Structure 1
Amino acid sequence: MTGAINFSAAKAATAVQRPVRMVLAAFAVGSLVALAGCATTTSDDTIRIDRAQGSEENISSLTSVINSNPSDPEAYNSRGSALGKAGRFKDAMNDFNKAIQLNPRYYQAYANRALVERSLGKQVEAVQDYNTALQINPRYDVAYIGRGDIYRLANRLDEAMADFNKAIELDTTDGRAYHRRGLIFQRKGQHAKAIEDFSSAISLSPTAPEPYNGRGISYLATNDLDNAFSDFNHAIDLDGKIAESWANQALVYEKRGNMQMAYKSFSHALQLDPRYQPARDGVERTRAGTASAG
């Protein structure tokens, strides 16, 4: 699993930096057209900007710790994580580099640096850092999950599946392992297995909207509209600012023939993310039905 990777697909995927662009089906009225199983990193595996963790106050506090302990690699690793949350990727890289310089066997710092590299579109370097982390600690589930998602986005599904399986075998409590494996099952049309994995991800990460969206798509693909609708609505309750959740909800309205509500939800998704093509397509599909109803 350490060979060279063709990252053309992965680079295209990571060009759109969205936290939840996982899987969204495109539905023509009354029929399932396709499942886009690897639309982007959800990334949840690239760094999400977090104003609290990346606040100047937090970074300043961690800087004080470094000034008091300039030879402590953990202090640099902690500040690097905060800098990454603030979107200051160059500064974060410098801190992770310093942490690794101080402790070349600091496997968590390699994995954290890989996250920054992924956010910068440097997948090759990220895989190398995940590999190093796993050479130091072969039981580090976080590195298997991160590397597996890069393989998934590069369409190397067997290697991705092997990494997610390994993390799960290690009894990971990180729901992303199940979520990402579910995406692969979903892409292969194995929706029963996908639903089971998304449910496991939900049990481990009950406040994350991503696995609810994923499970809802598989319910929708199997024509279980009630459960799909419930999952999409719950994803919206957890985070109402995610375009995918609203577009997913719209798909259920559309399948049920309620074009007015479908149009409304697609339109809201488009307001949240004007570049989200499934929402744009949905608005165009349902616009006529809204006009005729009015």
Structure 2
Amino acid sequence: MNATSVERGTALRGFALTAALLSGLMLAGCQTSGPAGEFNNIDKAQGSSENISSLSAVIQRNPQDPEGYNVRGSAYGRGGQYQAALKDFNQAIQLNPNFYQAYSNRALIQRFLGNQEAALADYNRSIQINGNYDAAYIGRGNLYRKAGRTQDAFNDFQKAIQLDTTDARAYHNRGLIYQSQGQHKFAIEDFSTAISLAPDAAEPYNGRGLSYLATGDEDNAFSDFNMAIKLDGQNAEAWANQALIYERRGDKAKAAKAYREAVRLNPSYQPAKDGLARVS
């Protein structure tokens, strides 16, 4: 996961480790990303130049159809072209002021661009138009969680789940909140549901591994960290967490190797740097 922001939780209350290991593992948990994480389960080919060209051709044939702009804006977003995406969502909303999906999509782009107030306004508008739109609750919940409004975030993820969402993010993010509160049984259940909905996503495995470790289930934790690495070899947190298991088992050579990989992937990731110093 190419993390663009680091969020620290208190995921491991009551977990009997040395102070140094506890500090490192707490920092290794509850991380989220920017665009890469949001689009984790979306085919990046949908944002390719070839696909953009075909979508542009559709818009040229029917320039008054707001759906065309919404679809192309989503493709631009997947491809990291955020200003182009913003322009398309603006056009979609101009053509249809009640296009709740476009408001939610534009909110996501505003988040990535750092325009948090504009993002919140768009999520609110999307929900105002359609109070049953799960994606808007999930997006707004992420916005709240990153702003430290944990209860508001929990309420939004809960609402999406009550709407029978099939979006793994609702369960994953609610699991992160449970984890931060030390409610690891509930966290493990949510991460497991997220995995069932998005089996190719590394983050729920990494999150569940931390909660397994917090409850003393080292074997399942190790298995989850390994799976997270298998699914996303660029996940520095998962490498650091795998290294911690090796360290706890006294295998300093393998621990050092995994910590080095975590540092290589993210040179500023302090838990990996601290871990490497301990085992070197």
Q: How far did residue 45 of structure 1 move? A: 6.0
Output the aligned Cα RMSD: 2.4
Q: How far did residue 41 of structure 1 move? A: 4.2
**Matched residues in 2 for 1:28 and 1:133: separation?**
47
Letter paired with 1:103: N
Say if 2:7 is the partner of 1:17. no
Say if 2:26 is the partner of 1:35. yes
Letter paired with 1:282: G
Report how many aligned residue pairs link the two structures.
271
Unaligned runs of 5+ in 2: none
Assess, with a 3 A threshold, how the Cα gap between structure 1 residues 165 and 237 changes in structure 2: closer, same or farther.
Answer: same
Q: Which residue of 2 aligns with 1:63?
A: 56
Say if 2:145 is the partner of 1:152. yes
Q: Which residue of 1 aligns with 2:241?
A: 248
Q: Which residue of 2 aligns with 1:216?
A: 209
8 Å CA contact 2:11, 2:180 repeated in 1: no
Q: Which residue of 1 aligns with 2:105?
A: 112
SS in 2 for 1:52: helix
Say if 2:119 is the partner of 1:126. yes
Residue-by-residue CA offset, 1:57-116 (whole Å, 9 max, x unaligned)? 111111101100100111101111111122111111100000000011111101110111
Residue-by-residue CA offset, 1:171-199 (whole Å, 9 max, x unaligned)? 11111111101100100111111111111
Residue-by-residue CA offset, 1:185-217 (whole Å, 9 max, x unaligned)? 100111111111111111111111110000000
The equivalences for 1:206-285 within 5 A come to 206-285=199-278
Letter paired with 2:22: L
Q: Which residue of 2 aligns with 1:174?
A: 167
Query: Which has the larger displacement, 73-82 or 239-248?
Result: 239-248
Assess, with a 3 A threshold, how the Cα gap between structure 1 residues 44 and 176 changes in structure 2: closer, same or farther.
Answer: farther
Q: Which residue of 1 aligns with 2:80?
A: 87
Residue-by-residue CA offset, 1:15-59 (whole Å, 9 max, x unaligned)? x626x9787979758853362455444666645697522211111
- What is the aligned counterpart of 1:199 among 176, 179, 192? 192
Assess, with a 3 A threshold, how the Cα gap between structure 1 residues 24 and 238 changes in structure 2: closer, same or farther.
Answer: farther
8 Å CA contact 2:208, 2:221 repeated in 1: yes
8 Å CA contact 1:23, 1:38 repeated in 2: yes
Q: How far did residue 276 of structure 1 move? A: 2.1
Letter paired with 1:286: V
8 Å CA contact 1:209, 1:234 repeated in 2: yes
Say if 2:180 is the partner of 1:187. yes
Query: Which has the larger displacement, 24-33 or 109-118?
Result: 24-33
**Matched residues in 2 for 1:207 and 1:23: separation?**
24
* More contact order relative to length (CA 8 Å, sep ≥ 6): 2
8 Å CA contact 2:73, 2:89 repeated in 1: yes
Residue-by-residue CA offset, 1:112-162 (whole Å, 9 max, x unaligned)? 101111111111111110100000110001111110111111111111111
SS in 1 for 2:227: helix
**Matched residues in 1 for 2:207 and 2:98: separation?**
36
Query: Which has the larger displacement, 270-279 or 146-155?
Result: 270-279
SS in 2 for 1:253: helix
**Matched residues in 2 for 1:135 and 1:141: separation?**
12
Letter paired with 1:35: M
TM-score (norm 2): 0.89
TM-score (norm 1): 0.85
Letter paired with 1:158: Q
**Matched residues in 1 for 2:21 and 2:266: separation?**
25
Assess, with a 3 A threshold, how the Cα gap between structure 1 residues 197 and 42 changes in structure 2: closer, same or farther.
Answer: farther
**Matched residues in 2 for 1:31 and 1:272: separation?**
21
**Matched residues in 2 for 1:105 and 1:156: separation?**
28
